[in-house]
Amino acid sequence: MTDYSPAELDTLALHAGGKPDPTTGARATPIYQTAAYCFPDSDYAAALFNMERPGHVYSRLSNPTTGVLEERIAALEGGVGAIATASGQAALQLAIMTIMDTGSHIVASSALYGGSHNLLAYTLPRFGISTTFVDTRDEQALQTAIQPNTRLVFGETVGNPGLNVLNIPKVSEIAHAHGIPLLVDSTFTTPYLIKPFDHGADLIMHSATKFLSGHGIVIGGLLVDGGRFDWDASGKFPQLSEPYEGFHNLVFTEEFGPAAFISRARKEGLRDFGACQSPTSAFYIMQGIETLGVRMERHIANTRAIVDFLSAHDAVASVTHPDLPSHPDHALASALLTQGASAVFTFEIKGGRDAGIAFVNGLSLFSHLANVGDAKSLVIHPASTTHFRMDEAALSAAGIGEGTIRLSIGLEDVKDLIGDLKAGLRAASKAAGGSS
Amino acid sequence: MRINLGGEQTYLYTNNKDIDATKKTIVFIHGAGFDHSVWTLFARHFSRHNWNALAIDLPGHGRSGGEALLSIEDNAAWIIALLDQLGLTKTALVGHSMGSLVTLEAASRLGERTSHAVLIGSIAPMPVSEPILDATAGKPSLAHSMLTSFAFSKRNLLGGNPNPGMWMVSDSMRRYEDEDTMALDRDMRACNSYTRGLEAASEITAPTLMIHGDADRLTPIKATKPLLAALTNARLSTVPGAGHTLMVEDPNHVLDQLKNHLF
């Protein structure tokens, strides 16, 4: 902590939002496993319900344990406040439902996690909210996609599956010129690799299940409000700038200043949709966040060594990672993601689908499963698993080859990881009819 | 509520209630670089208890038009003009930091029209250091960082906000960023040049409550002594572990003390 600046990331990851328990002295944040909270008297209760006092009423709305997690992620991201949700998908849904109505429109990056794509492409249209997907590298396409009813631009800091790096400064500039906020999914990057609010993003969501937790034992999401977007000046968000009948006609921007968005998301979105996070999940996620800095440093160091190893291997056709000069976003990643781009990446194995399957079967240390961001290294062969229904043409359109392998690099000793990868590559080469 | 005062649009947060001159009235006056929204929790409480609760945006701040005024005396005169226009003959005045100096000056001028005074994070005189004045004059980002850093106790810079999920540090930064740069500079210079604080305090007859954090780094608690001594009918309530921005750091303590003083 310097004279005038807040504490650094590693300090905030351990301390922000938490204090020793005032009753017991417990140093760890306790799990307040309770649904509701006693009121000292009737006036105090009325004051809580009428937002005259801060405090807890019912754990769907807030909870002392989840409150610490929320404050911690807000501190790490530099936001004014945050809400913990049941999953990353719940965080995305909460962000959208807070500022959109039937007839609203989203412009989203075409490089999105499949679950987010499903929500935008198939589910939200049932409720009158449509999405145009664009290649966010194409500024003109982005400009053209924005309509009079567009209310949100959405992308991932590092997108699936090609590790597309979102040009947050440029995309936010375009969004803001139209009076629209930019929401980014920073699951792959975490605040260790990039702080999107510093580059122009307005809202951040995370699947906390991934790198923030690191242990792969919990499902949870987080939504953070940067507090800089001017909802009044935009004129497009009556949900925040005009009286809200559901709360005695209060105007969120008048009442809560820079915290207008996150306040409505809690007062309405958590209250009515109810996708809250359990205090036990919040406790587990905090255990992960405490070591975020040291883990991410190791994730990135291991990833760099493995990217170098695979790039030089005869059985590998190509490696897709922004660290490599061959990646289309290499220069952008060098400017925005100075600590590293991601510990999740793909490579193309020679020999196609059979080689890919043989590679995965030949591994013993990497876990074969559909997740990323675990402390343990993970692998999946999309053509035979997550995308197995697609033919070659459809796979190609999705940027996935028959021999594409996705790795999520963990914290094991990198010598052991490379040894395991060598075994997998030998198996792949045999399946492809070659030797290595 | 928006009214025209002296040709400028003036914003008053009233919890969507009309002002009724027959009710008791409490007026909240914000500090330097802030606006009415630091008071909305408290104003809602008094409003529910059938008071006129007014959290005002001083000229050039928040949703009020015009330029920030140059002195504490000018701000106090503006408050009195506002009360006159609204037909409010007796009011409780609550001010934070710069707003507490405006409260001191206005209460001394209003005499019997002040029912109670509450001074939060207040000392008199209230000198502002040269590095802060240099920053507010031309380096607003640095000024925002400095003021945010000093406005909270060291412990509270790591959070622990009683308002679930809210991060006080960034919230404070955004509030400063949202305000007009010139207004913050004028506010700081108004605090620094106000020399009448102890004299004004000695003229106040209304019961006065001072609320102060024992870990205040902008206006250290030791420096409250001259002001407390100058007030003829005052007491000091100390907030353990809190810094200068008490309404954010410990709103429950502040509300309890306000109720204790005013109900």
**Percent of chain B that is helix, strand, coil (3-state, to 5):** 50, 15, 35
> Which ipTM score applies to this complex?
0.96
The mean pLDDT value for A428-436 works out to 77
pLDDT tens sequence across A309-327:
999 999 999 999 999 999 9
Token pair listed for B113: 């029209």
User: Per-residue pLDDT averaged across A10-16, rounded?
Assistant: 97
Q: Do A54 and B41 touch (CB under 8 A)?
A: yes
Tens digits of residue pLDDT in A16-64: 999 998 889 999 999 999 999 999 999 999 999 999 999 999 999 999 9
pLDDT digits (tens, 9 = 90+) for B91-113: 999 999 999 999 999 999 999 99
A257–B174 C-beta distance less than 8 A: yes
pTM value is 0.96
Quick: pLDDT tens for B111-140: 999 999 999 999 999 999 999 999 999 999
Reading the block at residue A229, the tokens are: 């977007």
Peptide linkage before B125 cis (omega within 30 of 0): yes
- Decide if A71 and B165 are in contact by the 8 Å CB cutoff: yes
Look at the domain B2-262 and name its fold.
Rossmann fold (3.40.50)
Secondary structure (DSSP) of A21-37 = -TTT--SSPP----SB-
Of B162, B177, B178, the CB nearest to A55: B162
Q: Do A255 and B167 touch (CB under 8 A)?
A: no
What residue has token string 């033919």?
A: A391
Interchain CB contact of B157 with A (< 8 Å):
yes
pLDDT tens-place string over residues A113-146: 888 999 999 999 999 999 999 999 999 999 999 9
Three-class SS of residue B147? helix
Given this model, what pLDDT does residue A3 score?
60
B260 near A CB under 8 A: no
What confidence tens digit (pLDDT) does each residue in B176-197 have?
Answer: 999 999 999 999 999 999 999 9
Nearest to B48 among A6, A46, A56 (CB): A46
Whether A204 and A197 have beta carbons less than 8 Å apart is answered as: yes
Dihedral over Cα of A131, A134, A136, A139: its sign: negative
Contacts of A1 in chain B (CB under 8 A): 157
Distance of alpha carbon B152 from its chain centroid, rounded? Answer: 16
The total number of residues shown for chain B amounts to: 263
| Predicted local confidence at residue B146, as pLDDT | 95
Q: What rounded mean pLDDT belongs to chain A? A: 94
A 224-243 residues with CB below 8 A of B? 226-228, 243
pLDDT bucket at A1, cuts 50 / 70 / 90: very low
C-alpha distances (whole Å) from A15 to each of A65, A277, A283, A289 are 13, 20, 14, 10
Q: Is B170 on the interface with A (CB under 8 A)?
A: yes
Helices (H), A166-248: 168-177, 190-193, 231-234, 238-241
Residue B96 and residue B58: Cα distance in Å, rounded?
13
A158-196 confidence digits (pLDDT tens): 987 788 999 999 999 999 999 999 999 999 999 999 999
Instruction: Answer whether B164 sits within 8 Å of A66, measured CB to CB.
Output: yes
Judge if the upstream peptide bond of residue A161 is cis by omega within 30 degrees of 0: yes
**How near does any CA of chain A get to the CA of B201, in Å?**
30
Q: Fold for domain A9-289?
A: Aspartate Aminotransferase; domain 2 (3.40.640)
User: pLDDT digit string (tens) for B211-260?
Assistant: 999 999 999 999 999 999 999 999 999 999 999 999 999 999 999 999 99
Model confidence pLDDT, tens digit, residues A277-290: 999 999 999 999 99
Interface touch B158/A50, C-beta < 8 Å: no
Q: Is A52 on the interface with B (CB under 8 A)?
A: yes
Output b/e per residue, B214-247; b: 16+ Cβ within 10 A. Answer: ebbebbebebbeebbebbeebebbebeebbbbbb
Nearest to B167 among A51, A81, A249 (CB): A81
Residue A436's pLDDT band (cuts 50, 70, 90): very low
% of chain A with per-residue pLDDT over 70: 97
Name the residue among A62, A72, A75 with its Cβ closest to that of B169: A75
Residue in chain B nearest A76 by alpha carbon: B167
CATH superfamily assigned to domain A293-428: Aspartate Aminotransferase, domain 1 (3.90.1150.10)
Strand order in the sheet with B25-29: B2-5, B8-13, B52-56, B25-29, B91-96, B114-120, B208-213, B234-239
Q: What is the mean pLDDT of residues B4-24?
A: 96
Nearest chain A residue (CA) to B49:
A43
Q: Is the pLDDT of residue A382 over 90?
A: no
Q: What is the pLDDT of residues B46-82, one digit of tens each?
A: 999 999 999 999 999 999 999 999 999 999 999 999 9
Element (H, E) at B169: helix B168-178
Nearest-by-CA chain A residue for B251: A53
- Cα A421 to chain centroid distance, Å, stands at 28
pLDDT recorded at residue A434: 60
Q: How many helices (H) and strands (E) does chain A have?
A: 19, 14
pLDDT given at position A432: 84
pLDDT at residue B110 in the model = 98
- Residue A45 CA to residue A346 CA, distance in Å, equals 54
Q: At residue A5, does pLDDT exceed 90?
A: no
List the domain boundaries for chain A. Answer: 9-289, 293-428
Cα dihedral across residues B45, B180, B9, B122: positive or negative = positive
